[in-house]
């Protein structure tokens, strides 16, 4: 595997620079520290960019689709979440806040 040199301006990386270096690191199989040091980079810089980029969505945006509520008994509301690849999650007695938190977690990029 060819080594990517650090971006041309070592003091200032663009998001694209950081994504490229982090992609190289993931493919390398090395620890973040070993990868950074072998390329003359500061491990904290890679860790900072990894954290920054993981906070922004990397995949397709979450979209909501119209839905109709049918047959729900007041004592036991149910939420149904349908994910790609046919995965279905049914939740009994789930508060809207809890469902929203679950949706945020499900759409968070893996680190």
pLDDT in tens, the chain (111 residues): 445 545 544 578 898 999 999 999 999 999 999 999 999 999 999 999 998 888 755 556 667 777 776 665 555 557 777 777 777 878 777 777 887 888 778 777 766
Contacts with 22 (C-beta within 8 Å, 6 or more apart), sequence order: 46, 49, 50, 53
What does residue 92 show for φ and ψ, rounded to 5 degrees?
-95, 140
Flag whether the pTM goes above 0.85.
no
């Amino acid at each position: 595997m060819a080594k990517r040199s650090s971006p041309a301006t070592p003091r200032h990386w663009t998001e694209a620079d950081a994504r490229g270096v982090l992609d190289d690191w993931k493919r390398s199989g090395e620890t973040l520290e070993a990868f950074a040091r072998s390329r003359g980079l500061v491990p904290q810089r890679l860790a900072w960019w990894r954290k920054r980029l993981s906070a922004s969505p990397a995949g397709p945006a979450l979209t909501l689709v119209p839905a109709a509520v049918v047959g729900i008994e007041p004592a036991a509301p149910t939420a149904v979440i349908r994910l790609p690849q046919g995965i279905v999650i049914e939740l009994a007695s789930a508060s809207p806040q809890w469902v929203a938190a679950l949706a945020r977690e499900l759409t968070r990029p893996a680190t």
